[in-house]
Amino acid sequence: MPRRHQLFNSNHQSEEVNISPLIDVVFILLIFFVVTAVFTRERGVEIDRPKALSSTELDTKAISIVIKEDGRIYSEGLEIGLRGVRPTVKRELLRKARPVVVMVDRRAKVQAYAEVHDEALLAGASTVSMATQR
């Protein structure tokens, strides 16, 4: 029996935890979250918005349409024209019901805004607003 006791005592195992697999798992999770993160597409069209004291914060989840000074109409940085407003808004509303925000250059014609506003409503938008700045 003493021999048996001696065998167990002579076989010393390290009691420290090997954390290298844990580090691997953390890096894999980090890569997973970076790859699956939703990135917002910000394609900019520069306009000079009108000023209004009663303006409120812009909903970042809204469908945005931009009307430039010369009347050209954009959505997500791509020129869509007046004929593209209705299909664009319909497509976006199929994904999720959201308000439509029209960003109009202050030198654009009011008629351009009225036409875009009508097209967005005809596409099924429940709310169409004009974006201003304070």
CB 63 within 8 A of CB 98: yes
pLDDT in the model for residue 4: 54
CB 106 within 8 A of CB 48: yes
CB 82 within 8 A of CB 114: no
Query: Confidence band (pLDDT; 50, 70, 90) for 83?
Result: very high
User: Among 61, 86, 87, 88, which residue's Cα sits nearest to residue 77?
Assistant: 88
Query: Confidence band (pLDDT; 50, 70, 90) for 30?
Result: confident
Which residue range forms the structural domain that includes residue 86?
63-131
Q: Which helix (H) or strand (E) holds 75?
A: strand 73-75
| Full-model pTM | 0.59
Structural domain count, the chain: 1
Angle between helices 85-95 and 110-122 (to 10 degrees): 40
- Per the domain annotation, does 119 fall within a domain? yes
- CATH number of the domain encompassing residue 72: 3.30.420
